[in-house]
Structure 1
C-alpha cells in the first residue's frame, strides 16, 4: 500500500517498574506484521515533559517550552494512535494525561485505539481516555484490547513464572486485529480528508 498511515504506539506509563513494555513489544510486532500501516513506538519516558504550564492550550497560543514543542512535533507526524494503557486508581496515568494536555492541535481528526492492562483490563481508564480523546477531537474506535484478570496474571510481573505475551494470542489476538482494522481504516480515510481540507 502506497503512503500507508503512520501510527504511534504510545506507552502511557513512565514508572521505572512499569509492566507496559511487554504488551507494547507484543502489539508492536503484531501491528508491524499487518503491512497496512507503519507503526512506531513512542515512549513518554523519552520526552521529559514538564507539568503543563503554558499560558494556554496550543489551540490558542503557541507553546513556549521546547520539550512541549518537541512532543507536539512528534505527535503531528502520525495519522493515528494506539495507547498502551495502565489503570491507576480507575483512570489513566498522570504522565499520559499530562502528555495529552501538552497538545491540542495535532491529535485532532485522527483515530485512537487502546491496549489496556490491569485487574479489569484497564476498562475504566480506557473509558476515561476515550472521553479525553473526544475533547481532543480524536476518533476513538470501538474495539480495544483488555488484558485483565487471570490472563493478566498469567503474563504479568505479579506471576513468579510469567508466560510470554504470545500465550494470550488466542484470547486477545482477535481483539487486537479488530481494533487495528478500525484504526487503519479511519487513519486512511481521515488522512485523505485532512489532505483535501
Structure 2
C-alpha cells in the first residue's frame, strides 16, 4: 500500500485577528478524520518573520519549509481582498521554496458575496505557471463571518463538509497519480 498523501494546509492570510484561523480550524478538523492524509499546516505569517526574531520562529520556519518541500498536495485557505487574493499569499507562492510542480492544489475560499471565488480563479492562473495542477472541486464560504458561530463552528455544516470531502477525494486521486508519474519520469525532464 502506498504511503499516505502528505497534504499541506496553507493559511492564505497573515492579518492580525484574521478570520482565516476559523476556516483553517474547520478544514483541519475535517481532514484529520480521514486516513489517507498526513496533514501539516504552514502559516506564511511565520515564514515572513524577520531572521532576528525569536528562535522559536526560526525553528517553525525551518519545519514549514521541510513540510513544503516534502508535500504531495496542497490545500490553500484564502480570503478574497478587493476582488483578488492577498498580497502575502502571492509573496509566499513566489518566494518560498515549495514543490508545486506536478502536484495538485485545492482551495477553500471565503469572503463577501463571491465567497472568495475571484481569488481562487486568479490563483489557478498563478499556479498553472508553476506547473501545479489545480483540482476543480473547492469550498466557498459566502459571507463567511455569518456562517461560523462564536466558537468557530459552522452553523450549517452539511454543504461545506460535503464540498470539502469531494475536494479531498480529487486531491487524493491527483496526488496518487502525479506521485506515480514523478516516480516513473522525473518532472524536470519534461518541464521544457
Q: 1:22-33 to 2 correspondence within 5 Å?
A: 22-33=22-33
Q: Which residue of 2 aligns with 1:192?
A: 180
Tell me how far 1:104 sits from its aligned partner: 6.8
2:69 aligned to 71, 76, 81, which one?
A: 76
Deviations 1:19-68 (A, max 9, x none): 11111011111111111111111111111268xxxxxxxxxxxxxxx9xx
Query: How far apart are residue 87 of structure 1 and its match?
Result: 0.6
> Where does the alignment leave 5 or more consecutive residues of structure 1 unmatched?
51-65, 156-160
Q: Which secondary structure state, in structure 1, belongs to the residue aligned with residue 157 of structure 2?
A: helix
Deviation sequence 1:103-126 (CA, Å, 0-9, x none)? 577211000001111112101001
1:138 aligned residue (132, 142, 154) = 132
Paired position in structure 2 for 1:178: 166
Structure 1 runs, 4 residues or longer, greater than 4 Å off: 69-73
- The two structures have a TM-score, normalised by structure 2, of 0.82
| Larger strand percent | 2
- Label 1:97 to 1:35 Cα distance change in 2 as closer, same or farther (>3 A): same
Partner residue, 2:146: 153
8 Å CA contact retained: 1:81, 1:113:
yes
Partner residue of 1:41? 41
Q: In the alignment, is residue 116 of structure 1 matched against residue 130 of structure 2?
A: no
Q: Give CA-to-partner distance per residue, 1:142-184, whole Å, 9 cap, x none.
A: 01000003x54132xxxxx646433231121111011111001
Unaligned regions of 5+ residues in structure 2, if any? 51-57, 186-192
Aligned to 1:6: 6
Q: Is the 8 A contact 1:4 1:37 kept in 2?
A: yes
| Other-structure match for 1:20 | 20
Give the count of matched residue pairs.
175
Query: How far apart are residue 7 of structure 1 and its match?
Result: 0.5
1:88 equivalenced with 2:81 (yes/no): yes
**What TM-score, normalized by structure 1, do the two folds share?**
0.80
Is contact 1:72–1:106 with CA below 8 Å preserved after alignment? no
